[in-house]
Amino acid sequence: MYKLALKMAWASLGRRTVRSSMVILMICISLWGLLLMQGIYDGMTEQMIANAIRSDSGQLSLFGHGYRLDPSLQTTVVMQTKSGPKLAEYLDNDARVSSWVKRLRQNGLVATAHYSRNTELFALDSEREKDHGGLQKYLVQGEYGFGEQQKGAIIGYKLAEKLHVRVGKKIILSAQDANSEVTSVALRITGILKTNNLWLDENGVFIALARARTFLGMEQGVSQISIMLHDDHTLGELQQDLQGLFPGNDILRWDEMYPALMQSRVIMKGFSLVISIMIFAIAGLGIFGVMLVSVLERIREFGIMLAIGTGFAQIRAVILLESLAMGISGFFAGALCGGLSLYYFKLYGLDLTLFSDAFEEFGVDAVTHAIIRPDYFITAFVAVLLATIVSAYFPLRILKKSRPIEVINEL
Amino acid sequence: MFFELALRNVQVNRKRSVITLLLGTLSTALLVFSSAWMDGSHQQMLKSAVENYSGYIQITGEDFRENPSFEHLIFDLDSLQEMVAEDNEVDVLTPRFESFVLYSVGEKGVGGMLTGIDPEKESMVSRLHASLKEGEYLSRGDTNQLYIGNELAHRLHVTIGDEVAFVGSGADYSFAADMLIVKGIFQTGLFEFDASSAFLAKPYFDMIMAADNMATHVIVLPKNTAQADALAGKLGEEIGAEYQCASWLQTMAPLVKSMKLDSVFGYITLAIIFTVIFFVVMIYTLLAVFARIREIGIMRAVGTTPRQIVTLLLFESSMLGFISVCVGGLIGAAFAWYFSLHPMVFAGMEEQFKQYGLAVSAIPTAFEPVTILRDMLVMFVLLLLSTLYPILHVNRYQPIEAIHHV
Amino acid sequence: MQMMDMSGFRLLVFFFIVSFLNSPLFAAAEDAGSIVKKIEENLNGKSAVMDIEMMVKTSRSKRTMRMKSYSIGQEKSFIKVLYPRKDEGITFLKVDNGMWQYVPRIEKVIKIPASMMLQSWMGSDFTNDDLVKESSLSDDYQAQVLRETGTEYELQLLPKDDAPVVWGKIVMSVSKQYFLPTTVAYYDEDDVLIRQLSYTDVKVFGERHYPSRWIMVPMTSEKKGHETIMVVSNALFDVEVDEAYFSKRALKRFSR
């Protein structure tokens, strides 16, 4: 029976090629646009979040209690409680943790013969950072690392611009050491970073941890421990466990350190949802119009079918199948186009400077790599299905009310 | 004749008309409102950033903006102020003297800005007074009383009534130091500003900093803020090359840029929605035209030229388009107007907004007739374009073919 | 054959190095170090007590200050401002790399933080840092004689690798008669002249020849028209200076 319905649906679609193809094209293009929008907007937000996580916060960061409000060398991460385990061992052995790094931070002043600027010093282990956040991938000039004698510094590109320095130039860093004495050190710029984490690009001076330890007189202790996880979902759990085991620390998730980024993500999600609903509602209206007309112009046909004993269920099946056929073809066409273009932008990225050259000033990567999530397609599929069924439902009701058999006798 | 015929046709083909009208109206309303919302939020962000502290027009000594040193001060404040005040379009003007000092409390030393202001006038050009959190705002006769940013107060561990010492250098490079008492604490919500700024009444400031009749900035509030840029240009010419006069478009250039960026995304999103609307209107027109294909065939058979038919159909579409654009424009405008008077409040999104220098979470829409008319025109053209293909398509049929079309 | 060539080449290099080591240039470089050492000794002495007048000129103002300074070697110094009245009693203490200031008006000892080190000292063209690192020339720089005339040496001082100094190069003219500097030119890493310090008017204080007038002229466009002149009106060298001056408590105690 359904075979027949399918045949009929196909035939009637074919009879109105222009109309049917227009509906399919409409669904295809709206889906295409929607997928692109979602994938690229999400790509942008996630890239900003990733930049913050990789360059600074990790998914989880530990600070000594009160450090964030009043940063000083004296406030260090509590590495061990009296009876409890050692933090380093705990992190090394916890299966949830994929990597972790130590950083010593201090405010200071960098100077050249011409300029001086307040900065934040990040003393770290460049090798460990490599596997942790992939700091080396942000390098735009010079080399990653602090040179053979560990006397180099990597600085943010905006800071470099403001100091008018290049790779190979010398900067003098002054800061208060552990005894609150002012101490200075000469650094040779080995590399320039562009993380698009605005604070770091403008203020960050990265030097070797060992060098900072001697220069600042801090034989031990770190200001921050940044942790990366294998799986995002274990984040809250690990945070709680650490809080329980090492209570003297402030343990912050990335979204607690960068609340604006989390809000961006939430806003983007809400925004995408609203836009999707609007687009599918409008597209639904289009399908509805076509279905209505196609039902009404065949009302006598259906009348005759009913008169010769075809069940209404079969007619309903024909109409629904017609609608679904258009919807699903549109979906596949749109999903294919959208998916392929997203895949392209995922691989090669979309150069946003096409639209404006100002993106980078606000922490957005110039080249945004799209994200493809299965749920884009699943949601879209459900939405298309819903739109087609609903838009076939009303014409069916009208058909039923208009008593097709009587219609045959008219005219 | 076309008009009457078209009107009749529109009335007869009620379903098509209603849906086209509905869609047209809806999308026009949507476009008008989204533009008003987008512009409104951007204007609000800029306005808030401008009014927070930086002001609509800043006058500085020549080269001060590029190289803010005491070499490029305003050295004759009184005569500059007189000159500027003469302009009818100037509402309020107020001087500021910004200097970098070292604050010290106990063992703790923190570098920051110390600025001398005219408290009464300052409260008219910026939100400094409105940002009062604790204690009291300054008044003109105040001496060593300090109005300090919340985060700076935190960093120095002080509260109302506590002493804060500072050392810095006066306008003549002489050594300056004083013990100040915290009178009020403010919080604009902009972390960097609140963590580094504090204010003194200018008469006292002038005394300890040897800054009498000098300033780093004169902030001008125009009577019509929308004309700030033009006024800045005009004032710039009046006061001469010794000074630099910049409107917020220059002082806030990065923010202005970021707003444009945001609009790019807004319009891309709207474009996607409109593509869908375009198709839907096209589909409906197609349906409507084909429903009348016999009629059209007969008209052709009795001698109506294809040209005339296209004209007639276009008349119909324009009519529908016009009505829906008008109604939609009105609805959109009504919403834009309502929400411009009753701003939407977005509690809990402050962090996101602070990034843009916005410290409030209520966002009014922008009610601008010109923009609304522009959007209506865009929509009208779009609606008309979407009917073009079906209308031209139907003319490809031969009259006889059309009459027999089922 | 090739081996021969290689060893021949090595030999050549060896000879080159040996002859370089014995060249007058290298010999002078050793000399230059001792010249700098001598200069430092002559400028600082074991200890010194000086009366100094400082004139700060800018394009639109001129100020005069007077102060008294006590120092032991290069490591410790104490300065007290005597004039103008409004700044009277301000004291500075420098011990090693730390610097403190006492301001009677606010009755407070303030430690100059790292972020203020490059700020101007008392509105002059000297920075706080200049005072703190005043004369670590021999520690921070590698000296070399550029030229030698009948009366003067011209020295080039290049910062040592680790030296925390902003300059790319210092060129110093030294009088042979007194082993005192006459001009010191400070360059950045790109060989752009940033400022120039001149020592003139050598006088005899006790048994020591000493430049009584120091003139600092910044050469950058931002500081056009600026000039700071220090005049040493009186000086006692190698006298007993009370160690009590060089403690934080002294800042307040000797302020009056």
Confidence band for A267, pLDDT divided at 50, 70 and 90:
confident
Under a CB-based contact definition with an 8 Å cutoff, are residues B181 and B144 in contact?
yes
What is chain C written as a DSSP string? Answer: -HHHHHHHHHHHHHHHHHHHHTSHHHHHHHHHHHHHHHHHHHHH-SEEEEEEEEEEE-SS-EEEEEEEEEEETTTEEEEEEEESGGGTT-EEEEETTEEEEEETTTTEEEEPPGGGTTSBSTTSSSBHHHHHTTT-HHHHEEEEEEEE-SSEEEEEEEE-TT-----SEEEEEEETTTTEEEEEEEE-TTS-EEEEEEEEEEEEETTEEEEEEEEEEE-SGGGTT-EEEEEEEEEEES----GGGGSHHHHHHTT-
Provide Rg for chain A, Cα atoms. 31
Comparing alpha-carbon positions, the chain A residue that sits nearest to C140 is A186
Q: Which of residues 96-155 of B touch C (CB under 8 A)?
A: 102, 104, 107, 109, 111
CA dihedral A386, A392, A398, A399 (to 10 degrees): -150
Residue scoring higher pLDDT (A294 or B99): B99
Question: Which two tokens mark A110?
Answer: 């960098």
pLDDT of residue A285: 83
Measure CB to CB from residue A260 to each of B254, B272, B354 and give the nearest one.
B354
Confidence band for A410, pLDDT divided at 50, 70 and 90:
low
Q: How far is C203 from chain A (nearest CA, A)?
A: 32
Pairwise CA distance, residues B44 & B345, whole Å: 12
Q: List, in sequence order, the alpha helices (H) in A1-60.
A: 2-15, 17-52
C147 to C20, C24, C173: CA distances (angstroms): 18, 12, 9
C59 assigned to some structural domain:
yes
Element containing residue B341 per DSSP (H, E)? helix B306-341
Which residues, other chains included, contact A271 with Cβ-Cβ below 8 Å and sequence gap of 6+? A41, B269
pLDDT of residue B255: 78
| Residue C29 pLDDT greater than 60, yes or no | no
| Residue C17 pLDDT greater than 80, yes or no | no
Domain ranges of chain A: 2-52+261-409, 66-247
Strands (E) located in B289-374: 344-345, 362-363
Nearest to C112 by CA among C101, C125, C127, C123: C101
Measure CB to CB from residue C98 to each of A118, A169, A182 and give the nearest one.
A182
| Residue C135 pLDDT greater than 60, yes or no | no
Measure CB to CB from residue A112 to each of C97, C117, C166 and give the nearest one.
C166
CB-CB under 8 Å, A118 with C117: no
pLDDT of residue A328: 92
Question: Which two tokens mark A261?
Answer: 């980024």
Pairwise CA distance, residues C142 & C35, whole Å: 12
The ipTM assigned to this model is 0.80
Q: Which of A17, A20, A23, A26 to mutate to probe the B interface, most B CBs <10 Å?
A: A26
Query: Is C85 in CB contact (< 8 Å) with chain B?
Result: no
CB-CB under 8 Å, B265 with A283: no
A184 to A148, A175, A177, B45: CA distances (angstroms): 20, 6, 9, 42
CB-CB under 8 Å, A186 with C165: yes
Under a CB-based contact definition with an 8 Å cutoff, are residues C65 and C76 in contact?
no
Nearest to A170 by CA among A145, A149, A189, A148: A189
Provide Rg for chain C, Cα atoms. 22
Question: Which two tokens mark A312?
Answer: 């209404």
Q: Looking at beta carbons, which residues of chain B come within 8 Å of C66? A: none
Confidence band for B360, pLDDT divided at 50, 70 and 90:
low
Nearest to A393 by CA among A299, A331, A323: A323
CA dihedral B345, B348, B349, B352 (to 10 degrees): 150
Q: How far is A356 from chain B (nearest CA, A)?
A: 7
C77-83 contacts at long range (C-beta below 8 A, 24 or more positions apart): C77/C131, C77/C134, C77/C246, C78/C245, C78/C246, C78/C250, C78/C254, C80/C254, C80/C255, C81/B175, C81/C122
Q: Looking at beta carbons, which residues of chain B come within 8 Å of C63? A: 172-174
Average pLDDT over residues C7-18: 46
CB-CB under 8 Å, C159 with A113: no
Q: What are phi and psi of B328, to 5 degrees?
A: -60, -40
What is A333-366 written as a DSSP string? Answer: HHHHHHHHHHHHHHHH-EEGGGT-TTGGGGT--S
C1 assigned to some structural domain:
no
C79 assigned to some structural domain:
yes
Residue scoring higher pLDDT (A146 or B287): A146
Confidence band for C27, pLDDT divided at 50, 70 and 90:
very low
**What type of residue sits at position C141?**
Y
Pairwise CA distance, residues A211 & A301, whole Å: 88
Q: What are phi and psi of A246, to 5 degrees?
A: -125, 70
Pairwise CA distance, residues B236 & B245, whole Å: 5
Average pLDDT over residues C211-231: 90
Nearest to A329 by CA among A21, A3, A18, A33: A21
Q: Looking at beta carbons, which residues of chain B come within 8 Å of C56? A: 173
| Residue B348 pLDDT greater than 70, yes or no | no
* DSSP state letter for A134: -
Q: Which of B276, B278, B284, B363 to mutate to probe the A interface, most A CBs <10 Å?
A: B276
CB-CB under 8 Å, A109 with C117: yes
Q: What would the pLDDT profile of C104-117 be if each residue is shown by its tens digit?
A: 988 888 888 777 77
| Residue A360 pLDDT greater than 90, yes or no | no
The count of other CB atoms within 10 Å of the CB of residue B22 is: 15
Question: Which two tokens mark A315?
Answer: 């007619």
Under a CB-based contact definition with an 8 Å cutoff, are residues A359 and B264 in contact?
no
Q: Looking at beta carbons, which residues of chain C come within 8 Å of B170? A: 123
Pairwise CA distance, residues A384 & A185, whole Å: 64
Query: Is A362 in CB contact (< 8 Å) with chain B?
Result: yes
**What type of residue sits at position B327?**
V
C-alpha torsion sign, points B270, B273, B275, B277? negative
B141 to C19, C98, C196: CA distances (angstroms): 78, 39, 45
CATH of the domain at C189: 2.50.20.10
Comparing alpha-carbon positions, the chain B residue that sits nearest to A264 is B352
Under a CB-based contact definition with an 8 Å cutoff, are residues A227 and A59 in contact?
yes
Query: Among all chains, which residue has been given the structure tokens 């959190």?
Result: B133
Q: Which of C108, C117, C255 to mutate to probe the B interface, most B CBs <10 Å?
A: C108
Percent of chain B with pLDDT over 70: 96
Q: Looking at beta carbons, which residues of chain C come within 8 Å of B107? A: 111
Q: What would the pLDDT profile of B229-244 be if each residue is shown by its tens digit?
A: 999 999 999 898 889 9
Q: How far is B234 from chain C (nearest CA, A)?
A: 28
Q: What would the pLDDT profile of B159-217 be if each residue is shown by its tens digit?
A: 999 999 998 888 888 888 899 999 999 988 777 888 899 999 999 999 999 899 999 99
pLDDT of residue B68: 80
Nearest to C157 by CA among C134, C180, C132, C139: C139
Under a CB-based contact definition with an 8 Å cutoff, are residues C255 and C91 in contact?
yes
Q: What would the pLDDT profile of B26-44 be if each residue is shown by its tens digit?
A: 888 888 888 888 888 888 7
Question: Which two tokens mark B76?
Answer: 């004759």
Number of Cα atoms under 13 Å in the Cβ half of residue C144: 12
pLDDT of residue A357: 67
Pairwise CA distance, residues B354 & B346, whole Å: 13
Q: Which residues pair with B198 in a beta bridge?
A: B114, B148
CB-CB under 8 Å, A275 with B284: no
Provide Rg for chain B, Cα atoms. 31
Pairwise CA distance, residues C54 & A52, whole Å: 51
Nearest to B64 by CA among B77, B55, B73, B76: B73
User: How many domains does chain C divide into?
Assistant: 1
Pairwise CA distance, residues B181 & B189, whole Å: 23
Q: How far is B73 from chain C (nearest CA, A)?
A: 11
Domain containing C130 equals 6-253
C245 assigned to some structural domain:
yes
Under a CB-based contact definition with an 8 Å cutoff, are residues C215 and C198 in contact?
yes
CB-CB under 8 Å, C63 with B167: no
**Counting runs of H as helices and runs of E as strands, what totals does chain A give?**
14, 12
C28 assigned to some structural domain:
yes
- Asked if residue C84 has a cis previous peptide bond (ω within 30° of 0), the answer is yes
Q: What would the pLDDT profile of A308-336 be if each residue is shown by its tens digit?
A: 888 888 888 888 888 888 899 999 999 99
C35 assigned to some structural domain:
yes
Parallel, antiparallel or unpaired: strands A204-208 and A116-124: parallel
Pairwise CA distance, residues B381 & B379, whole Å: 5
Pairwise CA distance, residues A164 & C213, whole Å: 35
